[in-house]
Amino acid sequence: MAAPVSPQLAEPAQRLGALERVFGALADNPHYRSYWVGNQANTLVMQMQMVANGYLAFTLTGSATALGVVAFAQSLPMLLFSPVGGVLADRIQKRKLLLWIQALQCAISVIIGLLVAVERIEYWHLVVSAAVQGMSFAVMMPTRQSWIPQLVPRHDLTSALALNNAGMNASRVIGPSLAGVLIAVPWFGVRGVYFLRILAFGWVLFTLLQIPILGQPEARRITSSGMERVRDLGVQLTSGLRYIWRHQTLQSLFMFAVVTMLLGQSYQQLLP
**For 33-41, what is the mean pLDDT?**
90
The answer to whether position 1 is within a domain reads no
Nearest Cα to Cα of residue 87 among 262, 241, 215 = 241
Nearest Cα to Cα of residue 68 among 123, 120, 137, 135 = 123
Share of the chain above pLDDT 70, in %: 76
The answer to whether position 262 is within a domain reads yes
The answer to whether position 42 is within a domain reads yes
* Cβ atoms of residues 44 and 171 within 8 Å: yes
With cut-offs at 50, 70 and 90, classify the pLDDT of residue 219. very low
Task: Domain count for the chain, please give it.
Answer: 1
Give the tens place of pLDDT for each residue, 139-193.
998 898 889 988 888 888 888 888 888 888 899 889 988 999 999 999 999 999 9
The answer to whether position 181 is within a domain reads yes
The set of residues, in sequence order, having a beta carbon less than 8 Å from that of 15 and lying 6+ positions away, is none
Pick 32 or 18 by higher pLDDT. 32
Nearest Cα to Cα of residue 183 among 118, 67, 272 = 272
**For 62-89, what is the mean pLDDT?**
83
Given a cut of 70, whether residue 16 has pLDDT beyond it is no
The set of residues, in sequence order, having a beta carbon less than 8 Å from that of 74 and lying 6+ positions away, is 50, 53, 130, 131, 133, 134, 137
C-alpha span between 96 and 15 (Å, rounded): 40
Candidate from 57-61, 76-80, 129-133, 230-234 with smallest mean pLDDT: 230-234
Nearest Cα to Cα of residue 164 among 9, 42, 13 = 42
The answer to whether position 219 is within a domain reads no
Nearest Cα to Cα of residue 211 among 38, 55, 6, 21 = 38
Q: Domain of residue 71: give its range.
A: 27-214+225-270
The answer to whether position 169 is within a domain reads yes
The answer to whether position 233 is within a domain reads yes
The pLDDT value given to residue 220: 47
Nearest Cα to Cα of residue 25 among 15, 16, 35 = 35
Nearest Cα to Cα of residue 199 among 138, 109, 74, 101 = 109
The pLDDT value given to residue 221: 45
**Angle at CA 97, nearest 5°, toward 115 and 268?**
50
The pLDDT value given to residue 272: 58
Domain with residue 154: its CATH number is: 1.20.1250.20
The pLDDT value given to residue 13: 46
Given a cut of 70, whether residue 46 has pLDDT beyond it is yes
By the 10 Å C-beta count (0-12 exposed, 13-18 middle, 19+ buried), 215 is classed as exposed
* Cβ atoms of residues 229 and 39 within 8 Å: no
The answer to whether position 137 is within a domain reads yes
C-alpha span between 213 and 197 (Å, rounded): 25
